[in-house]
Amino acid sequence: MRGRVRSAASDTSRLCQQKVADRVRPATCCVAGRREPTAGMAGRALWTVLCAICLHCGLGADDIVVGCGGFVKSDVDINYSLIEIKLYTKQGTLKYQTDCAPNNGYFMIPLYDKGDFVLKIEPPPGWSFEPTSVPLHVDGVNDICTKGEDVNFVFTGFSVSGKVLSRNQILGPAAVQIALRRGGSGGNIQTTVTQPGGKFSFNKVLPGEYEIIASHPTWVLKEAAAIVQVKNSNAQISSPLLVAGYDVSGSVRSDGEPMKGVMFLLFSSSISREDILGCHLSPVEGFQEKDESVSYLCHAISKEDGSFTFQSLPSGDYSVIPFYRGERITFDVAPSRLDFTVEHDSLKLEPLFHVMGFSVTGRVLNGPDGEGVVDAVVTLNNQIKVLTNADGSFRLENMTAGTYSIDAQKEHIFFDTLTVKIAPNTPQLADIIAARFSVCGDISITHFPESIKTMSKYKVLLTSQDKERASVLTTESDSHGSFCFQARRGSYNIQVSIPEAEAKAGLALKPAVFPVTVTDKPVTDVSFSQFMASVSGKVSCLDTCGDLTVTLQSVSRQREKRSVQVSSKTEAVTFTFEDVLPGKYKVSIIQEDWCWKNKSLEFEVTEDDIVGIEFRQTGYMLRCSLSHGITLEFYQDGNAPEHVGVYNLTKGVNRFCLSKPGVYKVTPRSCHRFEHAYYTYDTSSPSILTLTAVRHHVLGAITADKLMDVTVTIKSSIDTEPALVLGPLKSIEETRRDQQLAEIEARRLEREKSSSKEADAQPPVQEVVEELQGPFTYEFSYWAR
């Protein structure tokens, strides 16, 4: 709960009511007035009266309600509203907190219980007060709160802070002496030292103008003073003070005695010599430095006691190289080079430098008359180790005469051990020649077949191509597929043996044989990758292909199936399946509305990519759903409709192919009548053509012994179907007689026409029509629903 001071009376009323409500049910009233506190005793008196009323309203005999108040005092103008007063238990638990009155710093905190408390002032960081906390022993009788005495906190000043940085760095040193003086005066008001990182601060500084002075007994300071103005808040120097450099020292010995006159050359890749102080800048005669990545700065010379000092070095990275030359020989000094970093303090170089014995040199080569091997480790008697330079040369220092065994080691290059005699008159050793080289590679499997979960350790064979040598080396790849051989110069073939079970599961590697030639360097690029074929082909369409799907299904691995979507606005489109494992497969085209020469094809992936697969469209699938068996006649619409053909179809769903794209007119021919006299089918919008008969052709016949007028009335069981009256009907016999008469008349007219053209007229031919005789048949038909 956070309390804000309004007035002593209003706080008392509210807090008394809360306390009583917690202790007494139902709650009794507790009324108080309201006023702004102007003096401690007046506010305290009102608090006491109000709490007495509250006690009378319902508090127990052992309970108290006491106000503990006072002032935050300052002789200078400060913002009281930024200050908080907090009440803690003896165990450190926050009980209550409040702000100060912004006009005069007054505060008031209520106490309900007896006991030990701590009243603390919590100002903004850097503000100082005395005291910072007041212990309270509240007994309800003799404590300062019960007595109504004020608890006051007195402002003692702001903080002044800054930094001392190392030159060109974002941090600085510790232990730099910092003095705070009044502007224009010579005496120090306060002193302090910088903390790690270079920060410093002064507390309890009242408003005014001050001078800050930095100093150190050994370090050179570039910016050592600053002016700061303190007004009504904390102050900070406008720019950091700077240390130009730090002293770096060391020592050199020979058989435990100090050595005078040894030169120590200083190098750096990041520091310029203009930033160095107290050092000899002239070059050193007879010294040759082979490391071009660093620049020479200066040198120091050891004194009688063997010590040497670089007086002022800025923070940064350096290398120091000792150089000691006698009349005829250059002696070794160990260490021969020492890299060090100056941070934010003086530095004592360790270890000590020691003047040692003579040196011998040698070379490590990759072959007879070959190139030098860089960074090879040369070991002397399994103890002394040196590293070869870029040209393969090395230097053995501090040597004494004797017989030594020398070994050389370099990653992927292997040497035989040499035994040599070393003496001052043999400063150059025989060349160390590489005997064998690594032949390394890796096996990469990116797609494990179904039955293989992790990479196995595979047997790898290295076989010489020289039939006379006919040597075979065998190794095993690790769990990551890496392998290595040690091989002498020559030509070889490398093969990986795949277990039969994994080969059947579809695992294969390429190449089957990897040829290598070992000359004068390791072979590290042997690579066997998983063979996964590319299966490609094309789809040939009668018209625009549009969107199609091609699927690839393994014959033996049923779960291995995938599809590829292809699309084209032309009459052909290609498809490709990548990363196909060896094995037998079936590839299919998915377009049920078209007819294909081959809807699916089978092939086997062995060791090459599969190309040339083709799906050729032969037509457009027409599906007809018929309610009755009928005959359909097809025409293709166009400027000149083309008769396609007549097809006899059965009841149900019929399928057949249309050889060309376009719109077709389909006409049913049968004893059934359909919803339409004809239908259209568009190959670009395939669908099932459904023909459902709505009427059926019904035939009937009436047989009578004599001619008569016959009328047939047909009534349907469907109420909405009107009655149909057929007739009067004509019998078949009458229709046949009328037909005969018409034929006779036609022949007569033909004869008359012919006889008029001929000279000799033929006598007329008499044709007689038979008399009608029963029975007589009257046929009728109608379209029934």
Instruction: Write the pLDDT tens digit of every residue in 17-74.
Output: 333 333 333 222 222 223 333 334 444 444 444 444 344 444 444 566 788 999 999 9
Of 186, 208, 239, the residue that ends a domain is 239
Question: What is the sign of the dihedral through the CA atoms of 380, 382, 385 and 388?
Answer: positive
Q: Could you tell me how many helices (H) and strands (E) the chain has, helices first? A: 4, 60
What pLDDT does residue 40 have? Answer: 42
The C-alpha atoms of residue 509 and residue 581 are separated, in whole angstroms, by 10
Residue 284 sits in a domain whose CATH number is: 2.60.40.10
**DSSP bridge partners of 310:** 248
What pLDDT does residue 495 have? Answer: 94
Are both 28 and 118 inside the same structural domain?
yes
What pLDDT does residue 758 have? Answer: 64
In a domain, 425, yes or no: yes
Higher pLDDT, 751 or 601: 601
**DSSP bridge partners of 457:** none
What pLDDT does residue 356 have? Answer: 78
In a domain, 3, yes or no: no
Cis peptide before 427 (omega within 30 of 0): no
Are both 394 and 426 inside the same structural domain?
yes
Give the residue numbers spanning the domain of 420. 362-430
Higher pLDDT, 687 or 8: 687
Are both 426 and 441 inside the same structural domain?
no
Where is mean pLDDT largest: 3-12, 447-456, 528-537, 688-697? 528-537
**Cβ 158 vs Cβ 131: under 8 Å:** no
Residue 323's Cα: distance from chain center in Å?
53
**Helix or strand holding residue 51 (H, E):** helix 40-58
The C-alpha atoms of residue 521 and residue 412 are separated, in whole angstroms, by 8
Give the mean pLDDT of 106-118: 92
Residue 628 sits in a domain whose CATH number is: 2.60.40.1120
In a domain, 348, yes or no: yes
Confidence band (pLDDT; 50, 70, 90) for 763? Answer: low
pLDDT digits 0-9 by tens, 244-279: 999 999 999 987 888 888 999 999 999 988 889 889
pLDDT exceeding 70 applies to what percent of the chain?
89
Are both 16 and 147 inside the same structural domain?
yes
The C-alpha atoms of residue 667 and residue 681 are separated, in whole angstroms, by 11
What pLDDT does residue 230 have? Answer: 92
pLDDT digits 0-9 by tens, 689-746: 888 888 888 888 889 888 888 888 888 888 788 888 888 888 888 888 888 888 888 8
The C-alpha atoms of residue 278 and residue 90 are separated, in whole angstroms, by 60
Confidence band (pLDDT; 50, 70, 90) for 427? Answer: low
Are both 268 and 332 inside the same structural domain?
yes
Are both 408 and 487 inside the same structural domain?
no
The C-alpha atoms of residue 349 and residue 616 are separated, in whole angstroms, by 85
- Count CB-CB contacts under 10 A for residue 603: 16
Higher pLDDT, 472 or 727: 472
Residue 14: pLDDT over 70: no
- Count CB-CB contacts under 10 A for residue 732: 14
Cis peptide before 351 (omega within 30 of 0): yes
Of 186, 207, 239, the residue that ends a domain is 239
Are both 417 and 457 inside the same structural domain?
no
Query: What total number of domains does the chain contain?
Result: 8
What pLDDT does residue 45 have? Answer: 41
Q: Which two tokens stand for residue 641?
A: 């409709």
Of 239, 262, 286, the residue that ends a domain is 239
What pLDDT does residue 776 have? Answer: 86
Are both 634 and 604 inside the same structural domain?
no
**DSSP bridge partners of 714:** 724
Strand bridging mode 177-182 / 208-215:
antiparallel
In a domain, 52, yes or no: yes
The C-alpha atoms of residue 149 and residue 752 are separated, in whole angstroms, by 161
Q: Which two tokens stand for residue 290?
A: 């082979």
What pLDDT does residue 50 have? Answer: 42
pLDDT digits 0-9 by tens, 545-595: 999 999 999 888 777 889 999 999 999 999 999 989 888 999 999 998 899
Question: What is the sign of the dihedral through the CA atoms of 23, 26, 27 and 29?
Answer: negative
In a domain, 2, yes or no: no
Are both 468 and 393 inside the same structural domain?
no
Are both 186 and 232 inside the same structural domain?
yes
Are both 162 and 221 inside the same structural domain?
yes
What pLDDT does residue 256 have? Answer: 83
**Cβ 598 vs Cβ 537: under 8 Å:** no
Confidence band (pLDDT; 50, 70, 90) for 760? Answer: low
pLDDT exceeding 90 applies to what percent of the chain?
45
**Cβ 240 vs Cβ 172: under 8 Å:** yes
Residue 234: pLDDT over 70: yes
User: Which of 138-142, 144-148, 297-301, 445-449 shows the lowest per-residue confidence on average (mean pLDDT)?
Assistant: 445-449
DSSP codes joined into one string, 707-756: ---EEEEE--SSTTSPPEEEEEE--HHHHHHHHHHHHHHHHHHHHHHHHT
What pLDDT does residue 707 have? Answer: 84
**Average pLDDT of the chain?**
84
Are both 351 and 369 inside the same structural domain?
no
Residue 751: pLDDT over 80: yes
Question: What is the sign of the dihedral through the CA atoms of 722, 723, 728 and 734?
Answer: positive
The C-alpha atoms of residue 606 and residue 585 are separated, in whole angstroms, by 11
Angstrom distances, CA of residue 453 to CA of 443, 449, 767: 16, 8, 102
Higher pLDDT, 762 or 329: 762
Please give the model's pTM, rounded to 2 decimal places.
0.41
Residue 109: pLDDT over 70: yes
pLDDT digits 0-9 by tens, 639-689: 667 888 888 888 889 888 888 888 888 888 888 888 888 888 888 888 888
In a domain, 660, yes or no: yes
In a domain, 1, yes or no: no
Confidence band (pLDDT; 50, 70, 90) for 391? Answer: very high
In a domain, 496, yes or no: yes
**Helix or strand holding residue 54 (H, E):** helix 40-58
